Chain A
Amino acid sequence: MALNMIVCVKQVPDPEAPASAFKVDEAAKRVIPAGGVAQVVSQFDGIAVEAALRIKDALGDGKITIISMGPASARDAIKHGLAMGADEGVLLCDDAFENGDSYTTALALAKAIEKIGEYDLVLFGRQATDWDAGTTGSGVAEMLGIPSVTLAKSVTVKDGKIAVERVLLEGYDTIEAPLPAAVTISNELGEPRYPKLQQIMQAARKQVTTWTAADLGLDASQVGRQAVRLNLERLFQPVSEVECEVIEGETPEETAQKLAQRLREEKIL
């Protein structure tokens, strides 16, 4: 069975950049883009591409389409997925999409998926590593009217059904659902494969289609700032109020002794 898979990816500032590079413009309620911080595929989304590739490998067949909503640079995030082994890409790019929330994002993605038409499995990262919202996958599933399973550490497809191992706080569940379905992928799935140079060159030739809001039958009042459910009242950096007391000694024994003593004095131990 040739399975049609769609993976939704987002481009984000590298979340593992040093914390010192992270600055917020409180007046503008936005993060100040730091020079030198790369734009990368949101970690869990890269793992979602990996999940799709593993399913394709296991079935020996299938088509993987990467969709990303974002600025023109988000094409790089799609190209990365194509270099990993996905087949086609769709970029949703329009000023009208700007300053949306996960509701407007899910709406645009759902419309794009409906426009693609043929889909059996839609995959997402468990949360985007900028806003950490963790809602878009459920939203797209709801708008498409298909079942959703979140936080997967493995997904297998058999007999028109998916079996998902879902990560719990203690252990995991195995969940079955009929296709078409949506699944969000967690890091427990494993590391995404790294594209080889040859694949990167091949990806350059793979097709990336660009759609605007109008192409999806949406206008600016339905997506972007005007349509948000969630208002951003304030964005700020939390300040830590602790003053670190550095314990020093001539020998490790003395240092350790002093620490133990301080913890005792403070009634912590």
Chain B
Amino acid sequence: MLVLITILLPIVVGALLWLLPREDRVLSRAIGTLVAGVTFVTTVLANNQGQEWSYRWLSRPFESAFHFGTTPVSYWICLLLALCTMSAIAVTHVPRTRNFTVQMLFLEGAMMGLFLSRDLLTFALFWDLMLLPVFFGLIGWASHPATAWRYFIYNFAGGLTLLLATAAFGVIFGSTDVIGRADVHLAGAWAPWIFAGFCFAFLVKTPVWPLHTWMPLTYSDTPPPMIAVVAAVQSKAGLYGLIAIAVAFMPQYVHQYAPVLMILGAISLIYGALIALVQQDAKRIVAYSSLSHLGLIVIAIASQNQLALEGALVYIIAHGLFSAALFLLLGYVEQREETRSLLRLGGLGRANPKLAGALCIAALAALGLPGLAGFVGEIVILIGVYQTGAVWATIVALVAIVLAAAYVLRLYQDIMNGPEVEDVPVRRDLTWLEGLAVAPLLAALVVLGIQPHALMEAVRVAVH
């Protein structure tokens, strides 16, 4: 029951918030933060008690159920999601606060449903459902409507192949209530096509080169707090799918197509890093860095190495934490300076020490500084991939990490250091609320960086 509440609470309250007046800012934000907080608590509790909830949906042509429950992997992603949503709603400074809060809560509920699904069909259902709030967010926010279209069409096309693959899976296996079951292995004439259908959806969502072209536009045009959640958690839906569905049910095909996946991952890794290096738009730098970082995780998953998979899961959480923090902080910067072009920013560090400090921690985590969570993930992935004999991939990853240092430091340098830019409208350090929103993300980065055992232990159980 608790898992069901975790999913439905944000959706239902989100729908009710719509009854508030459109101009309302204070109340919708307060309720939104409260609900996100309660959801965080129920997420924690749901795992402790090993909660599950199931209700039969279809019996023909294949068995399917609204079956939700936590697994060790999904538990950590759900925590990340709850944390990011809370931070994002608490410090909203976007116009149309009510609509934004509704969208955020709906997004949270849909993604909770996705990660808690034990059934492929409900997985597909929430997969499509989570596109809607971002789509409406983009319609209301984006500078050009094409952004919303591109986001939606790409991801919906992925969702459709996911749907077709799910239908085929259900017909062949007789049931879709399979996520988390160890005894399911799909083989036969259709299996490669089913695998391809799933993979297409997952790789679009992640995104991986060459299916990434919706990503930079979306990341730079979505409201900053929302993109913090999308970049931190929604992109993980694809990786989670690769682990929980592709690797779990069709390991032989992952093995067979590992070179393809690895090459796509490696191209994303280098391509993302190189483009991030030359961008002038702060948010786009982080967007392309995401492409790069997620490419590394794809390589790790494709390697199917025990250690690499553990590293992948740690890095999934770490990337979620630091990219959410980066996007939130860049959002604050943009809000104060009314620009996010590196050419027109500079010298903020002197007047805004707290902002600079927070951005510094997030940036260092992004470049993989030892002691922060990003480093643990990276190093474990590198060792794992190296163990499988894919030395070239390890070398590519190392090159990308060096590039990461370059673009992340450039980002920080150009915004915080250097000569101060004249005629800045507002000069205001982090407010206590903004600080409070980002603090848990940064704290988690530090804690997981120093003490990653809890996470890795859970992951080890899951991967076995």
The reply to whether chain A is a binding partner of chain B is: no
Residues of A that sit less than 8 Å from B by CB:
none
Residues of B that sit less than 8 Å from A by CB:
none
